[in-house]
Structure 1
């Protein structure tokens, strides 16, 4: 497996400068061999590294030698490290950050922080409780700058953390959907099937299904037809 564990300083220096790299921070019990192999299958030419418990300083040092594309933090380490995002970005640029969680209450706490903080507004959230094919799709979205919010994070005992928007023509899709979700819904409203949409957007059919699942939950639609009708009723107000 390519660079599964944290390299020594000398091994980093011997690599070609600024190799594109994905970094996992956490226990092998969370980021198992299976998870890392799935990540490697998605990253193409990039290296994949895992650290058990690195400090922010170690990540910044690594960024001096490598181009860090994505950092995935186990939730138990994330609380300390995400405070260093701005310092890290001053060195490494716009690296994508994600928090991986198993405890839903922990995931909800980070989702709440994401909502309340401008610095964390681009934080991705990856559930480690889903089948590996679903996790791989979510990882792929995070890697290339897109994201979905697992529905389990939006619901508490009191209801939604952020109330689902009413299904009205006056609500703009861009207010509540990601750019990719708008693209998917636009093609759905045109009558395209998942296979055609996947081909047009360069994604897998499974990823399109994930997007549609989240679109329906976000806009409160019961099916594709209702979602398409809502989208078309906006008459170009996007």
Structure 2
């Protein structure tokens, strides 16, 4: 089982949408909390998604280290509440290193569920209207968009992995053991094991050796910095 956590004021996400999500993805369970601090805890199953109301973005950024200590495999997405109508917020989201996607809640359920399926696979989603609102600003306000680290092409087969998972996998294919990986990335050994389990599962590999072979075959330059 995997958990999807909504961090949002009560009533923003309809009960019908939450039920539809659980029906469409029976291997997930929905949790809803009214404050960011309530998400900083262990849930019954691994948290795959943190879906955050726009009003709580600052709080999530403030608590990011604590959140991801508990939920190292979670993608963070913001609930789309006409975000493209607020240009400054659109720019903030598109350039954020924390927010990786947007989840629309004011569209038909079949559309929302299709996008939710992408997010559960680790695939990022930003609506065109939101991107358009962001790029209306002069280019100099968007320096992070052009950083090489963010635009470096990643083969489709590896796009299901998070940036941290790519770092761990790159070190695995170099022959490093869990203890060395943990020391180099300033992680606990347990967290490294969680990342490896997630990597193997996402790539459909049988073990770390096979996952490393997949990386060597498709990764650009065989290096992630």
Normalised to the residue count of structure 1, the TM-score between the two structures is 0.52
Return the offset for 1:106. Answer: 6.5
Report the RMSD for the aligned CA atoms in angstroms: 3.6
Return the offset for 1:41. Answer: 2.2
Return the offset for 1:46. Answer: 2.3
CA separation of 1:134/1:37 partners in 2, compared to 1, >3 Å: closer, same or farther?
Answer: same
- Residue equivalent to 2:132: 155
Paired residues, what number?
152
Return the offset for 1:81. Answer: 1.9
The reply on whether 1:89 has 2:68 as its aligned counterpart is yes
- Residue equivalent to 2:40: 60
Other structure's SS at 1:154 match: helix
8 Å CA contact 1:107–1:125 kept in 2: the answer is: no
CA separation of 1:69/1:157 partners in 2, compared to 1, >3 Å: closer, same or farther?
Answer: closer
More helix by share: 2
Task: Find the partner of 2:6 among 24, 46, 58.
Answer: 24
Normalised to the residue count of structure 2, the TM-score between the two structures is 0.54
Counterpart CA distance in 2 for 1:67 and 1:158 is: 35
| Greater C-alpha radius of gyration | 1
1:121-140 to 2 correspondences below 5 Å = 123-140=100-117
The reply on whether 1:101 has 2:80 as its aligned counterpart is yes
Where structure 2 has 5 or more consecutive residues not aligned to the other structure, the ranges are 140-149, 160-219, 221-225
After TM superposition, where is structure 1 displaced by more than 6 Å over at least 4 residues in a row?
none
CA separation of 1:161/1:175 partners in 2, compared to 1, >3 Å: closer, same or farther?
Answer: same
Where structure 1 has 5 or more consecutive residues not aligned to the other structure, the ranges are 1-18, 163-173, 184-236
8 Å CA contact 1:111–1:125 kept in 2: the answer is: no
Other structure's SS at 2:63 match: helix
